[in-house]
Amino acid sequence: MKAAAAFALLAAGAQAAPHYTFPKLAGTSDWSSVRQTANFQSNGPVTDVTSEAIRCYQRAPGGAPDITPVQAGGQITWVAAPSIYHPGGYRCCLVCGGSALSAYMAKVPAGQTAADFDGSGQVWFKVYQDLPTLSGGQYSWPSNGLGQISFAIPQCLAAGDYLFRIEHVALHSASAAGGAQFYISCAQVRVAGGSAGGSAKTPTDLVAFPGAYKATDPGLLINIYNNGGKQYQPAGPSVFQC
């Protein structure tokens, strides 16, 4: 699969805020097929990559009420509330937008549904990773300011239930270990129309959450305002390709 995502801005006048959640998929209601996160009221981030919160940031054990049907090779669109933005003092507002976006999926084991599976174990594969452009030593991030984010579902996946994990990492305070701020949600989806039988491709580079990241990974411990003009190195595995 080509690592491609389509981005759409919310209507003009949408309010920007320093923190946010991903409460729903487009066309659904809040926390219907997305597991309610612990920050559903505070909008605060996860900062400890060794905690279980780094998986789905769930408020409580258990799944969401619904499972959203999606099509292999189609798109899934997340809605942010209110939008992706990081004011962090005068300097941050001059060069705002130090935020790395990625997405992961996990196949639900046989005998379980997306509403039952807790996402534990080495089961997650990356399906998208954005990269910033670099100009004059400063990064420009494609997801900054967006209210909706669409991802492609790999065409070669076997049909069945999956968890789909969106992860947005704010890097404006990441010059010290533990300063990266994670905004995470997990949706319960049922993939239809995927490759059947032996034609399906098994995802590679599987990781576990926690376990996929270290606080000292180059993509999480970085001064985005003065990084010597280096290209950004995302944390975690490579994007799975069909």
Give the pLDDT of residue 91: 33
Q: For all residues of the chain together, what is the average pLDDT?
A: 85
Domains of the chain: 18-199 (2.70.50.70)
Q: Are strands 68-71 and 181-192 parallel, antiparallel or unpaired?
A: parallel
Dihedral sign computed on CA atoms, order 163, 168, 173, 175: positive
Local structure of 209: helix, strand or coil: coil
- Both tokens of 23, joined, read 């409460």
Alpha-helical segments (H) within 79-208? 90-94
Q: Where are the beta strands (DSSP E) in the chain?
A: 5-8, 21-25, 68-71, 75-81, 99-107, 124-129, 133-135, 138-140, 148-152, 160-170, 181-192
Give the closest residue to 156 by CA, choosing from 119, 109, 107. 107
- Both tokens of 7, joined, read 């981005």
- Look up the pTM and report it: 0.87
pLDDT beyond 60 at 90? no
Give the pLDDT of residue 228: 77
pLDDT beyond 90 at 174? yes
Q: What is the pLDDT of residues 176-215, one digit of tens each?
A: 999 999 999 999 999 998 665 556 899 999 999 999 999 9
Q: What is the pLDDT of residues 204-241, one digit of tens each?
A: 999 999 999 999 999 999 998 888 788 999 999 999 99
User: Exposed/middle/buried for 131, CB within 10 Å: 0-12, 13-18, 19+?
Assistant: middle
Q: What is the pLDDT of residues 151-173, one digit of tens each?
A: 999 999 999 999 999 999 999 89
In the chain, the percentage of residues whose pLDDT exceeds 90 is: 67
Local structure of 198: helix, strand or coil: helix
- C-alpha span between 242 and 231 (Å, rounded): 26
Q: How confident is the model at residue 89 (pLDDT cuts 50, 70, 90)?
A: very low
Give the closest residue to 19 by CA, choosing from 101, 77, 88. 88
pLDDT beyond 50 at 11? no
pLDDT beyond 90 at 15? no
Local structure of 78: helix, strand or coil: strand
- Find the mean pLDDT for residues 106-133: 96
